[in-house]
Structure formats: C-alpha cells, structure tokens
Chains A and B, each alone.
Chain A
Amino acid sequence: MSADKLRIGFIPLVDAAALIVAVDCGFAATENLDIDLVREVSWSNVRDKLNIGLFDAAHMLSPVAIASSLGIGHVRVPVIVPFNLCLNGNAVTVSPKLYSSLQGLADGNLADPVVSARAMARLVEERKKSNAEPLTFGMTFPFSNHNYQLRFWMAAGGIDPDEDVRLVVLPPPYMVESLTSGHVDGFCVGAPWNSVAVDSGVGRILHFGCELMARASEKVLAVREPWANENRDVLAALIRALSAAAAYVEDKNNLAIVSETVAKRIGVSADLVVRSLTGNLKIAPEGAIRADNRYMLIGGSGVNRPDPVQAAWLYAQMVRWGQAILTDELYAVAQSAFRPDLYDAALGLAPPPDKGTPHDGIGAFVGPKFDPAAIASHLDAWRIRRPGRPHLSVVH
C-alpha cells in the first residue's frame, strides 16, 4: 500500500520537535505517512496556507487556531486541534540596561515575577515623569502566548500594556537584532531565540514562560475541520506518529539524537536545542543558569492531549485584551476547537479521569484560579483589561 502523502507547514522553532522527530526519525513512516515538512517564514503564511489547503496540517500558535475558528483577525476557517505539540517554552528576555534599571527598583528577588512586574511598573512611572519614550517589547504575533504572557505579567504590576508600553510584533529571527540595536528593550519569544540573545551578550532572561503560567498550550497541530472529517484514518495515523515521537523526545536517553535532528531542521547548534529541551538555560551573558523541568514540555503526562481548559484560557485572554467579545457562542466555538476526543480515539485511550496539577489547568502566578465555566467573573477580577469596564476589583 502506498504511503499517504501529507504537506505540513512549520516555523523553525524547538517546539516543533515532535513534528520534526516524527518525520526525520521514522515515526511517520511507521504509520505509513509520507510527510513533506515545509519550513515557513511567518505565522501568517502558515495560517493562510493551511486555510486554503496548501497544507494538510500545520505547526501553529495555539491562539491562532482558536482565532481562525472564531474568525477574528482574519478569515473564519474552522480549524481544529487534535494534538498539542508543546506546553510552555517561552521566556521573557530584557536588555542588560533594562535589567539593571529593574534591579535598582526591585523590592525583592527579580526572579519572582510579582517583584519584577512591580519594578517594571515603577520604571514605567519614572519614565513617564521624565518624558522618556515608553519601553518597547517584541512579541511574535497578536494571537500568541508571547503577547498574552507579556500583558498578563505587566498588568499584574499595574502596567496597562496598551497605554504604558509599546508591544510590537517581531518575527523571531529579528528579535535578537532588534534588542541589539535598541529598537526593543525586551521581548517574549520561544526557543532558541532567548538563548541566542543571551549567548550574543545582548539579553538576559528574566522569566521563563512557565514561571508566569505553569501550563500554557504553546503550539498545536492544526488541521481544517472538513479535512479532518474526510481523512479520519490519516489523521489518526498522524496523531499516533506524533505521540510516539513526543514520547521519544521526552525520553532523555534520546537527547543527543533528538537535539541533532531538531537542530538540523531549524538551523541552529544542537547545544541550543539541548538547553531548551532540558530546561537548563543560561540566563545571563556571564553564565548564570536557571533550571526548570517545566520550561518546555514536548511529551509526557497530559502534554499532548488537547485540553479545552487551555482553549478557554486563551479565549479569555483574547476577551481581556479586546481581541474578541465574550459570548456563549464564541466560548463554545473556542473550546470545541480543541479535540481531545480525536486524540483519545486515535490512541485507543479512555478520557483521563483526573486533571494534572495545577488543578485549574493553567497555574498563573497571580490572580484567582481559572474556572473555564466562569470567564466573565474571572475577567472581572482584573483591573487592567481592554474593553474599559469599570474598575471592579484589584488583584495583585
């Protein structure tokens, strides 16, 4: 029987590891899939090529899949998520200059995001008084955790991310150059770009994404819903191949081969990939290391099964920052874009009886626990948000 041919788009980032390993280490072939992995330069391209059928599936920012299904920011195309490719993996990096300003204003350890957010707020206040230009931060896409994580963190310190600072979209390959030139003062981006900035001596990692939210769906495998319905068996085979690849990536015995394979596809040194996959990151040019085994999760317990709580959280961020309105209908669409049923069916699994820790599925560093069934009241807990609601209460 001839293999099923698939074209899958991806952006060269470490969090595409499961996809890359599935193709390059034989897991796709085992499932009789012949995958053409197509490297892309922008998320807009990935989205558009998936939308119009040039790609059968894509490595995609989790919020983009939801935005496509909701029809916000672009054409409405029902896109579904049958597999979660990565949880976490981002980091906030700042210039050495910004870091030392924050140190001067910190009332505790800057490694604590509560402390760093407050220090940021003081700095923003000082700069306003001296009529300095607002601080500028880079993020990768309007519908991205990079955008939401920067906003969530800053707002926790009292900064209005739309009024007090500038957030600009920058393609990941431009991040380091923009930090070097002073075009931005910091950024939130995925691996390996934070490490590249540290290695070039122009940036210092302030926070891992997982320090802001313990579990954040970062990248997903996205497919068009009609395609999924017409190609159930092929999709199931793809889910199995990705699941096997993700487990292979997560097994530290395979670290060397996995890192080389991924490094080759994304065009960086294997060492940078090792650091990201193990969560052992050099955070400062002079060599300080921070380790966190939640830094980037490609496989393992509960990582790959699409979690509708994550979808609801991302939709809540869209509402908080004025990208979407809050309605029951949109909420239902957002949640049902994540399809654990397809994942379970492909792998012959029964739905898991219990959710992992943290039990709200998100684990944000401040604020009330997230209840997906009560987005409105959850959002009311936040003073700083876009639609300009009355100040109801303050959570710091």
Chain B
Amino acid sequence: MTGLRERLAFKRPSGFGRSAAENSVLAEMRKGSDQSGHGSSPPGGQRDSTLKIAIVDESPVRAAILEDGLREAGFLQVERIAEHRNLLARIYALDPDVILIDLESPSRDMLEQMFQMSRAVKRPVAMFVDQSDRASIQAAVDAGVSAYIVGGLRKERITSILDLCISRFNAFSRLQAELDRAKDALDERKVIDRAKGVLMKAKKLSEEEAYALLRKTAMNENKKIVDIAQSVLTASELFK
C-alpha cells in the first residue's frame, strides 16, 4: 500500500486546471487495467463536473439532499441507488468514480467484494487508505457516511466531496430531529384533544372548561398537560 500512500501525499501547485494530457491519464486510469489499483495519480485537482458519483442509500430523502448538495457544488453526474438487489451489477453498469454509502446499510459489505482482485472487474481503491487521514475517517463515521473511490482519484477532491456529504448528512439529521419534534407536538395535540372530549362528555364541560381543568391539574401536580391528558384517557379506558 505504500505506493498509494505516496501518491495520496502528492502535492501539486494550486491554481492549475487539468491539461488534455492529464485528462487522458485520468481516462486511462478509469479503464482500470491496473490490477493492483496503484497507478500513477492524475495531477489534476479542480472540482470536476465529470466525476460520476453514486449514492447508495435506502433513505430517499437523505439521498435527495445529498444529490442536491453535490449538484449545487458542481457535480453533475450523480446517481442514486436505493435498492440493495443486484447492487454490484448496478454499480458496475454505472461505473462511478465515487460511491457514497450510508454506514447503517448492511449493503456496505457487498461493496467490499469490489476490493477483491477479479479479472472481470476493475480493482477499486478504498479512500481510507492513508492512515494519516484518521480525522476525516472519524468525521465520516460519525456522520454515518462512508466513501469508496473507484479508480485513482486525488485525495483533495475526495475530501471536498466527503466534507460536503458530511455537512449534508448533519443537515439531514437536524431536519429529521425537527420532523420528529413536530410529529411529537402533533401527537400531543391529539392526546389533549381526546382528553378534552372525554372530560366534556363526562363532566358536561365546555371545551374551554375542559382544557382549563387539564391545565390546572397539570400545574397543581407539576406535570405536563399531555401527561395529565394521557392519564385521563387511560382512566376512561379502565372505566369503559
């Protein structure tokens, strides 16, 4: 693996686009005839709209957020794969440069097969080869995203994609948390409404009076209104 490490550590003066010659080097590498996967690195490094990215994620919302983020950042060839069936065949057909996969997906092990030598399949290179890269691995693991790089890509470009994915994943988690809170709030409303109904019927109260009673009881007992409402519902079930 030392060859690859050296390659990943390769530094290039910034501010240069990729030349035609460099493009052909990259194309050559994408053909993947290099069985060891340790070919020489393309010296390019600008964000590359031709980079083909596959997102393997069973959560369509999160995959969409990731895809949008990648497109906004100028990555135009982004494909989503939501199904684990024939995953490898689909990936081979798509032939992506980068695969992003949710860490919570058992399908992740299927991708490991691509790292095996095989005459039919080009041998991809794992991104997390450079052991000095622990911080970014850690961040990816924490965010629940794992990236596999097919072919030889420069670390800087991968890092930018990964950073973007991590921030998108975190944004998704925040969104999910907000949705959960909103759902909880809605559920609470329903419980309180039903408890009001029980009280209105049993004690012949108006809606306002029923709510006032719940609120007063909650204050007296130092509990949340929804907890009192739940107790009312439980009790009314018992009295049925």
Contact = CB atoms under 8 A, between A and B. Distances in A.
Contact of B116 (A54, A76, A171, A323): A323
Given A73-B112, A162-B118, A168-B113, A41 B106 contact: yes
A86 B88 CA distance: 30
Contacts of A49: 141
Interface string B102-114: 0111111111110
A38 interface: no
Contacts of B134: 52
Interface string A3-29: 000000000000000000000000000
Interface in B159-184: none
Interface in A138-158: 140-142
Give the secondary structure class of A's interface: loop
B141 A48 contact: yes
B229 interface: no
Interface in A297-311: none
B70 to A, nearest CB: 23
B112 A142 contact: yes
Contact of A141 (B109, B126, B128): B109
Interface in A69-106: 71, 73-77
Contacts of B9: none
A322 interface: yes
B137 interface: yes
B226 to A, nearest CB: 31
A247 B146 CA distance: 38
A52 B136 CA distance: 11
B115 A48 contact: no
A183 B86 CA distance: 8
B1 interface: yes
Contact of A168 (B110, B117, B138): B110
B141 A41 contact: no
B109 A171 contact: yes
Contacts of B146: 44, 48
A26 to B, nearest CB: 31
Given A42-B108, A45-B103, A74 B84 contact: no
A121 B177 CA distance: 55
Contact of B137 (A52, A140, A169, A172): A52
Given A41-B106, A169-B112, 13 more contacts: A42-B105, A42-B106, A42-B108, A43-B109, A44-B109, A44-B112, A45-B103, A52-B137, A74-B129, A141-B109, A141-B112, A142-B116, A323-B116
20 contacts: A41-B106, A42-B105, A42-B106, A44-B112, A45-B103, A48-B141, A49-B141, A52-B134, A54-B141, A74-B126, A75-B1, A140-B109, A142-B112, A162-B118, A169-B110, A169-B112, A172-B106, A173-B106, A174-B106, A323-B116
Closest 4 CB pairs of A and B: A171-B106, A42-B108, A169-B113, A42-B109
